[in-house]
Amino acid sequence: MSKTPRISIPKSVREYVYQRNKYQCQSCGKTHTESQLTIDHIIPLARSGTNDISNLQTLCFPCNRQKSDKSDRRFQRRFDL
């Protein structure tokens, strides 16, 4: 399994993901007014995930820290792992 190189996510892409996810954590449901939101790779780059926009989601900081580089079924969404 080869690790995908990390690239900087452009501001316009980050804003699109926040809007698409309604400024809400995709794990616990907290909004941007309740918690600091981050952009996360659904399938981690360390597990051969891609930098494609369909592999990005909004998570609050605590959920992102908990997920780390794991492939957790709670965070799977539409992907077959």
Domain ranges of the chain: 11-58
Question: What would the mean pLDDT of 8-22 be, rounded to a whole number?
Answer: 95
How far is the C-alpha of 42 from the C-alpha of 21, rounded, in Å? 13
Which tops the pLDDT comparison, 76 or 14?
A: 14
pLDDT, tens digit (0-9, with 9 covering 90-100), for 46-62? 888 888 999 999 999 99
Confidence of residue 14 (pLDDT cuts 50, 70, 90): very high
Question: What would the mean pLDDT of 57-80 be, rounded to a whole number?
Answer: 74
- What's the distance, Cα to Cα, between the start and end of the chain in Å? 13
Neighbours of 72 (CB within 10 A): 14
Q: State the burial class of residue 40 (Cβ atoms within 10 Å of its Cβ: 0-12, 13-18, 19+).
A: buried
Specify the pTM.
0.79
